[in-house]
């Protein structure tokens, strides 16, 4: 499975399913791309779609048994990757990396909030 598929599978709640509308923002995917991905996953037998019992406008995505098996493969791959990173990169460097990433994410969220509010700020290009 691809990283994108693995990430989708990892973000679907095993018991409650996940609303289709919440998956796209988690992945930073455009709705059209998400629709294609979900269709492909459904055709492969990894997910099933169900209309929400409480609100017919919403569709929940559930993992099939095959989807759960692929999800476990993705989870194991993430764990192996994380362990390899921890073995190869000293902890002090990882701490700094995550601090910088946290700062970058905060800046991105602030800029996105401004854009949504209709007040984009120009970023310096130097």
Binned at pLDDT 50, 70 and 90, residue 70 comes out as very high
Q: Rounded to two decimals, what is the model's pTM?
A: 0.70
d(CA 95, CA 78): 19
d(CA 27, CA 8): 8
Strand partners, 47: 63
Confidence (pLDDT) at 3? 83
Q: Phi and psi at residue 70, in whole multiples of 5°?
A: -65, -35
The enclosing H or E element of 63 equals strand 59-63
Looking at residues 19-32, what average pLDDT do you find? 83
CATH number assigned to the domain covering 3-88: 1.10.10.10
How is the chain split into domains, by residue range?
Answer: 3-88, 89-119
d(CA 72, CA 92): 30
d(CA 96, CA 57): 44
Pairing relation of β-strands 59-63 and 47-51?
antiparallel
**pLDDT tens, position by position, 51-69:** 877 778 888 999 999 999 9
**pLDDT tens, position by position, 79-125:** 999 999 999 999 999 999 999 999 999 998 888 888 777 755 555 66
């Amino acid at each position: 499975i691809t990283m994108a598929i693995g990430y989708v599978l990892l973000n679907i709640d095993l018991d409650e399913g996940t609303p289709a509308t919440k998956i796209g923002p988690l992945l930073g995917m455009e709705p059209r791309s998400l629709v294609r991905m979900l269709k492909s996953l459904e055709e492969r037998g990894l997910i099933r779609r169900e209309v929400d019992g409480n609100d017919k406008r919403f569709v929940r995505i559930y993992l099939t048994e095959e989807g759960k098996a692929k999800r476990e493969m993705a989870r194991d791959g993430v764990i192996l990757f994380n362990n390899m990173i921890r073995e190869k990169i000293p902890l002090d460097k990882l701490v700094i990396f995550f601090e910088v990433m946290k700062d970058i994410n905060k800046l991105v969220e602030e800029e996105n909030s401004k854009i949504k509010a209709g007040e984009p700020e120009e970023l310096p290009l130097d």
